[in-house]
Chain A
Amino acid sequence: AQSVAQPEDQVNVAEGNPLTVKCTYSVSGNPYLFWYVQYPNRGLQFLLKYITGDNLVKGSYGFEAEFNKSQTSFHLKKPSALVSDSALYFCAVRDMAPRDLGYSTLTFGKGTMLLVSP
């Protein structure tokens, strides 16, 4: 079964500093990896995804993520944090290998709250 771990419940960073939100995954085949952001009382918004190719993926709002196959990680990064980046961030994985010609679904991590202080 596929799984995602976000080891930090909360990440605190000062505005202007770089930020990293960690994610590790486990799948049986090659992974599709996603990052979503949830602002207070809102739905999830898609940030970026890794399918194949370049290990550094660029997404919305200046975010990027680095895929590392040997460490089974997909950490979310931003060079300079903004107070408005404060939100709940979810990593998700989809197994690329279909099982029995069926349909595989996304598995989400538990989320990491990012707090950016002025």
Chain B
Amino acid sequence: NAGVTQTPKFQVLKTGQSMTLQCAQDMNHNSMYWYRQDPGMGLRLIYYSASEGTTDKGEVPNGYNVSRLNKREFSLRLESAAPSQTSVYFCASSFRPPTSLQETQYFGPGTRLLVL
């Protein structure tokens, strides 16, 4: 049981390049999330997927797109990377009971992205 895995661990991009960050979970969770972590700003939600087949914008979605490929996988795409997107990106997943908001998010190890 690996939990939440993310690839790659580290990536350097040039401005304007595109890339996709991959996330997978093996806990049969229905909800998945993408956050970015910047110094002094905590974690900010980029996009989330409450269930397979749905995605919604979080606090900072501009410049990103997501795909919930199946129940296990949730990818984050940068179509044209900018230096402002230099950050550490975390994927998380949780099980959301149908009639309750009582759930705990579990995080992957993160992807460090540097955009030059």
Report whether B101 and A43 are in contact in the complex, using a CB–CB cutoff of 8 Å: no
Q: In chain A between 64 and 118, which residues have their CB closer than 8 angstroms to a CB of chain B?
A: 90, 94-96, 98, 103-106, 108-111
CB neighbours of B90 from chain A (8 A): 43-44
Interface size class of A (residues with CB under 8 A): 20 to 34
Number of B positions contacting A (CB below 8 A): 25
Complex alpha-carbon distance, A37 and B35, angstroms:
16
- Take A32-B102, A108-B42, A110-B41 as given contacts and tell me if A103 and B50 are in contact as well, using a CB distance cutoff of 8 Å: yes
Q: Does chain A have a CB within 8 A of B61?
A: no
- Take A98-B101, A105-B48 as given contacts and tell me if A43 and B41 are in contact as well, using a CB distance cutoff of 8 Å: no
Give me 7 A-to-B residue pairs in the complex whose CB atoms sit less than 8 angstroms apart, sorted by A's number: A9-B40, A32-B101, A32-B102, A43-B110, A44-B43, A90-B42, A110-B40
CB neighbours of B92 from chain A (8 A): 44
Report whether B42 and A111 are in contact in the complex, using a CB–CB cutoff of 8 Å: yes
Report whether A108 and B43 are in contact in the complex, using a CB–CB cutoff of 8 Å: yes
Given contacts A43-B110, A111-B42, 9 further A-B contacts (CB under 8 A): A46-B106, A90-B42, A94-B101, A96-B101, A98-B101, A105-B45, A106-B45, A108-B42, A109-B42
Q: Give the Cβ gap from B56 to chain A, nearest Cβ, in Å.
A: 7
Q: Which of B50, B96, B102, B107 contacts A43 (CB 8 A)?
A: B107
Report whether A103 and B56 are in contact in the complex, using a CB–CB cutoff of 8 Å: yes
Q: Give the Cβ gap from A49 to chain B, nearest Cβ, in Å.
A: 6
Q: Which of A36, A45, A51, A109 contacts B102 (CB 8 A)?
A: A51
CB neighbours of B41 from chain A (8 A): 110
CB neighbours of B105 from chain A (8 A): 46, 106
Complex alpha-carbon distance, A76 and B99, angstroms:
29
Top 10 A-B pairs, shortest CB-CB distance: A43-B107, A110-B42, A44-B107, A108-B43, A108-B42, A43-B109, A103-B50, A43-B110, A111-B42, A43-B108
